[in-house]
């Protein structure tokens, strides 16, 4: 059943713009009349483009409405939480005995974000035409990802789609919680840095110049700290229009370099060597590798396919290259543990547990144990870093303010001693 985008007037006189399934525009008008909405315009079908024979005015109108829709969709981007909620609800419906098409119809009515509603409508239509759910989802690979699609395909092949969806929902929710924890940890120091930087700039450009004017007529040699403070203040006042754009340009260049094909491997290698954050990044990569691989294998995805997917899930290129080489070794008949051990990038616990799991036939359970262990260590270290960041940031800001105060007070104290 096609999905129409329409504009109308509600019973209270407010304008309404939304999506609704209907067999035809006439059926849409009748359905909206029952809901108390007066239809004023049918913008178009969600699955279809402009039909041949439309006038240039209609084409321009559709182009304008498409531009408006794109802006609205950008404000409602699909995130990991949306996918996790949708997956769990779909698993619950299938587990209750609801057919796949009916479950997808319920999800179209359930979800709130228009972009996800459009995608699920298209998926439902393709499934209704006889395509598999995995094939229907593969047309939206940027939204769902290879991991999601391959697990769905494995679940359909094994006949346990509802179980695979539950496992996938748990995995997605766990990854979302871990990401939220990391983002929440970084928000506080970023806010402190922005506030501290703003206070420092205000001191250097507004307060310090007024205070240091009293030193202009002094015949004494100022301390080096005061001279440095005055030089920095004058430089920021005179060249702020150069300093600020230069800082922004440097930040943009740095972020682009860390995402480029040449810069990312170098940056990822340096990150792993940083004393405090390097081990944390390594543990995060190991936890993501082991949990993703275990989830894929439990869902029936072949090992080589699972290794290919995991390689793309691990964001650190150093660890990703090791997984890629391990996949090539597995294709040649070698075990998983040996290439991980040779690389020197994976901790001994990982390849020992993997080796035991391969010998005992419990590889998935061993991988999950490793993932649980490293995720708990990550949580502990993040908690410790969070508790240390606040006093460190306060001490750092206090040190900067103390330097400014010391640089201003020292010449004043010298003047007092000269007067006496």
What fold characterizes domain 80-174? Receptor-associated Protein (1.20.81)
Rg of the Cα atoms in the chain: 30
Write the CA distances from 305 to 46, 271, 292, integer angstroms: 34, 28, 12
Output the pLDDT for position 51: 41
In the chain, residues under CATH classification 1.20.81.30 are 80-174, 178-420
* Backbone φ and ψ of 31, nearest 5°: -65, -40
Tens-of-pLDDT digits for all 420 residues of the chain?
Answer: 666 777 776 766 567 777 777 777 777 777 777 777 777 777 666 544 334 344 434 444 444 444 444 444 444 578 778 888 888 888 888 888 888 888 888 888 888 788 888 888 888 888 888 888 888 888 888 888 877 888 888 778 777 788 888 888 888 887 777 777 777 777 877 887 788 788 878 877 777 787 777 776 666 677 888 888 888 888 888 888 888 899 899 999 999 998 888 899 999 999 999 888 888 889 888 988 888 888 888 878 888 888 888 887 788 888 889 998 888 888 888 888 888 888 888 989 888 998 999 888 888 899 989 988 988 888 888 878 777 877 888 888 888 888 888 888 887 777 666 655
Q: Number of C-alpha atoms within 13 angstroms, CB side, residue 245?
A: 3
C-alpha torsion angle, residues 18, 19, 20, 24 (rounded to 10): 110
Note whether 4 and 28 are within 8 A (CB): yes
Q: Is the pTM of this model over 0.85?
A: no
Contact present, 28 and 39 (Cβ < 8 Å): yes
Residue ranges of E strands in 15-85: 15-21, 38-45
Task: Say what the pLDDT of residue 114 is.
Answer: 83
Joined together, the tokens standing for residue 217 give: 């007529």
As a dihedral over the C-alpha atoms of residue 340, residue 324, residue 273, residue 341, rounded to 10 degrees, the angle is 10
Which DSSP letter does residue 222 get? P
CB 15 within 8 A of CB 7: yes
pLDDT at 12: 62
pLDDT for position 73: 43
Instruction: For the sheet with 15-21, list strands across it.
Output: 15-21, 3-9, 38-45
CA dihedral 263, 268, 273, 275 (to 10 degrees): 110
Domain 178-420 has CATH 1.20.81.30: yes
Q: Give CA–CA dist 253/262, Å, rounded.
A: 13
Beta-bridge partners for 7: 17, 41
Helix axes 80-95, 141-158, angle to 10 degrees: 20
**Structure-block tokens of residue 56:** 């240039």
């Amino acid at each position: 059943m096609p999905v129409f985008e329409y504009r109308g007037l509600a019973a209270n006189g407010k304008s309404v713009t939304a999506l609704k399934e209907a067999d035809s525009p006439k059926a849409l008008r009748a359905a909206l009349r029952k809901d108390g909405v007066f239809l004023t315009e049918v913008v178009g079908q969600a699955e279809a483009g402009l039909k041949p024979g439309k006038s240039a005015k209609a084409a321009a109108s559709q182009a304008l409405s498409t531009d408006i829709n794109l802006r609205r969709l950008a404000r409602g981007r699909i995130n990991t939480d949306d996918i996790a909620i949708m997956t769990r609800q779909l698993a619950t419906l299938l587990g209750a005995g609801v057919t796949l098409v009916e479950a997808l119809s319920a999800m179209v009515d359930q979800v709130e974000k228009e972009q996800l509603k459009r995608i699920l409508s298209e998926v439902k239509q393709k499934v209704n035409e006889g395509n598999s759910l995995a094939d229907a989802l593969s047309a939206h690979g940027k939204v769902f990802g290879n991991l999601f699609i391959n697990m769905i395909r494995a679940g359909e092949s094994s006949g346990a789609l509802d179980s695979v969806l539950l496992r996938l929902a748990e995995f997605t929710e766990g990854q979302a919680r871990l990401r939220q924890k990391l983002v929440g940890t970084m928000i506080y120091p970023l806010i402190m840095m922005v506030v501290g930087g703003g206070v420092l700039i205000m001191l250097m450009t507004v307060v310090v110049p007024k205070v240091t004017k009293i030193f202009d007529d002094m015949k004494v040699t100022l301390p080096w700290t005061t001279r440095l403070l005055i030089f920095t203040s004058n430089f920021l006042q005179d060249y702020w229009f150069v300093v600020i754009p230069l800082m922004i340009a440097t930040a943009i260049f740095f972020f682009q370099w860390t995402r480029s094909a040449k810069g990312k491997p170098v940056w990822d290698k340096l990150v792993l060597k940083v004393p405090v954050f390097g081990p944390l990044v390594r543990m995060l990569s190991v936890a993501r590798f082991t949990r993703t691989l275990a989830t894929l294998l439990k869902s029936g995805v072949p090992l080589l396919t699972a290794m290919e997917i995991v390689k793309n899930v691990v964001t650190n290129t150093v660890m990703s290259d090791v997984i890629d080489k391990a996949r090539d070794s597995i294709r040649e008949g070698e075990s998983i543990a040996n290439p991980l051990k040779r690389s020197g990038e994976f901790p001994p616990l990982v390849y020992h547990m993997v080796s035991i799991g391969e010998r005992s036939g419990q590889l998935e359970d061993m991988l999950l144990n490793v993932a649980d262990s490293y995720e708990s260590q990550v949580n502990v270290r993040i908690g410790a870093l969070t508790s240390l960041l606040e006093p460190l940031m306060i001490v750092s800001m206090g040190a900067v303010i103390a330097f400014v105060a010391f640089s201003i007070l020292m010449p004043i104290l010298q003047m007092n001693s000269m007067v006496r």
